[in-house]
Homo-oligomer: A and B are copies of this chain.
């Protein structure tokens, strides 16, 4: 039921500087002394001098900047339980010797506690939506419902699980689509072309078409995977996805990482007409010493949205999307050898509208505008590290930190106010998770959920 316009608004924010998109790409402006009116989870009005109705809740945001909540376009949220346990290792040892053996112990309660801790971290860091690709995802969906954030969820599977893997992924996607009052969207989530065979990939594409679902998959994560795929199939991972009907331009596909995307992949991606997106999580690429990063510039030139991500905390150490934003700008400048490229405004474009498109919500989130979902963060810019301000975009991207986010709002509901989380109890989560850890990290059994060998 839509509330009557005469009824009080749910939330009114006053006195902020508002980041607003004035067009496509990096066309961003900052409106001073702006107000935002929220009703029914939607931004009803925003700007300077808007009429301010009565409201159930008011926030005086003087000295703060309002911007769209950050979007974590690829993570494995419950893996925060493994933060710091597999350090200073090459990719293969990280998977085979530590992470996949530990994940063979995973229980629903581990996933639940990990997801709660992850949501706490993300809400505190200004992340209002995350694309999760993991196991026991019913549990993650329940945590999203409970804590009030937004998520794009997929139940991961390998072909080694047999046909049941992709069936469970489909059932999950259908069961939770539109869940949590519409805050949950879903995707089919095959793990990667090196762990999911062509038959399963083709079946996944058919299921996606039949049910109107998107696909979220790791592909061309690094150059080694591309080289191995070429040696095995004569095709790159991207070409494998095209041949199996996943990347044919009639499905929305979210590809994680893509640091192994090479020149010949670009026409394949371009032919999908903006329906393929790539999520970049640069911290992990540095840590694993991968030789390349996501080719953001080339992807941007062919109309492929690039969203920001953290991957799981076992490789990224945090779910800090703000850090991914700054690091993406720096690493892109360095990799392209061009200090003029990936400006602060372009970084903000990736953090907002491009990330929203990457998770299939390009029309609903990613921008503060009437009719958009009220996913809003308020950022304190009064700290000595963000003063003075000569260029607000630069201050935001390169000087501000996730810890400067004071208030996080999703679907019009305040989930953190003045740094206090309102829907999650961190000390209790940490205590319960601590009790689970000895059993979770035990590797004496010698099992692993899957073998990494590109």
Residue of B nearest to A293 (CB): B334
**Chain B hits for A107, CB < 8 A:** none
Mark each residue of chain A from 259 to 299: 1 if its CB lies under 8 Å from any CB of chain B, else 0.
Answer: 00000000000000000000000010111111100000000
Mark each residue of chain A from 342 to 362: 1 if its CB lies under 8 Å from any CB of chain B, else 0.
Answer: 011000000000000000000
**Chain B hits for A85, CB < 8 A:** 390-391
| Contact in complex: B318, A398 (CB < 8 Å) | yes
Mark each residue of chain A from 421 to 454: 1 if its CB lies under 8 Å from any CB of chain B, else 0.
Answer: 0000011011001100100010000000000000
**Chain B hits for A385, CB < 8 A:** 121, 124-125, 318-320
User: A385-B121, A388-B433, A427-B382 known; A394 and B289 CB under 8 Å?
Assistant: no
The answer, yes or no, to whether A317 is at the interface (CB within 8 Å) is yes
Binds B, one of A67-75, A76-84, A160-168: A76-84
User: A124-B383, A340-B90, A384-B121 known; A333 and B399 CB under 8 Å?
Assistant: no
**Chain B hits for A441, CB < 8 A:** 390
The answer, yes or no, to whether A142 is at the interface (CB within 8 Å) is no
User: A87-B394, A340-B90, A401-B401 known; A388 and B287 CB under 8 Å?
Assistant: no
Q: Whole-angstrom distance from the CB of A257 to the nearest CB of chain B?
A: 15
| Contact in complex: B399, A317 (CB < 8 Å) | yes
| Contact in complex: A395, B83 (CB < 8 Å) | yes
**Chain B hits for A81, CB < 8 A:** 388
Cα of A70 to Cα of B394 in the assembled complex, Å: 25
Cα of A390 to Cα of B141 in the assembled complex, Å: 27
**Chain B hits for A338, CB < 8 A:** 289
Count the copies: 2
| Contact in complex: B333, A289 (CB < 8 Å) | yes
Residue of B nearest to A433 (CB): B388
Q: Whole-angstrom distance from the CB of A382 to the nearest CB of chain B?
A: 7
Residue of B nearest to A313 (CB): B399
**Chain B hits for A398, CB < 8 A:** 84, 87, 317-318
| Contact in complex: A89, B434 (CB < 8 Å) | no
A394 touches which of B285, B317, B429 (Cβ 8 Å): B317
Cα of A342 to Cα of B265 in the assembled complex, Å: 34
Q: Whole-angstrom distance from the CB of A195 to the nearest CB of chain B?
A: 21
Mark each residue of chain A from 162 to 180: 1 if its CB lies under 8 Å from any CB of chain B, else 0.
Answer: 0000000000000000000
A289 touches which of B80, B288, B337, B433 (Cβ 8 Å): B337
| Contact in complex: A83, B333 (CB < 8 Å) | no
Cα of A383 to Cα of B401 in the assembled complex, Å: 15
**Chain B hits for A383, CB < 8 A:** 121, 124, 426
| Contact in complex: B388, A330 (CB < 8 Å) | no
The answer, yes or no, to whether A336 is at the interface (CB within 8 Å) is yes
**Chain B hits for A330, CB < 8 A:** 283, 286-287
Cα of A437 to Cα of B106 in the assembled complex, Å: 56
Cα of A382 to Cα of B426 in the assembled complex, Å: 9
**Chain B hits for A340, CB < 8 A:** 88-90
The answer, yes or no, to whether A403 is at the interface (CB within 8 Å) is yes
**Chain B hits for A84, CB < 8 A:** 389-391, 394-395, 398-399
Cα of A364 to Cα of B350 in the assembled complex, Å: 46
A-B residue pairs in contact (CB < 8 Å), sample of 26: A80-B387, A80-B388, A81-B388, A83-B387, A83-B390, A84-B389, A84-B399, A87-B344, A87-B394, A89-B339, A89-B340, A90-B339, A117-B384, A286-B330, A286-B331, A288-B333, A289-B333, A289-B338, A290-B334, A318-B398, A320-B401, A382-B426, A382-B430, A384-B426, A388-B434, A390-B437
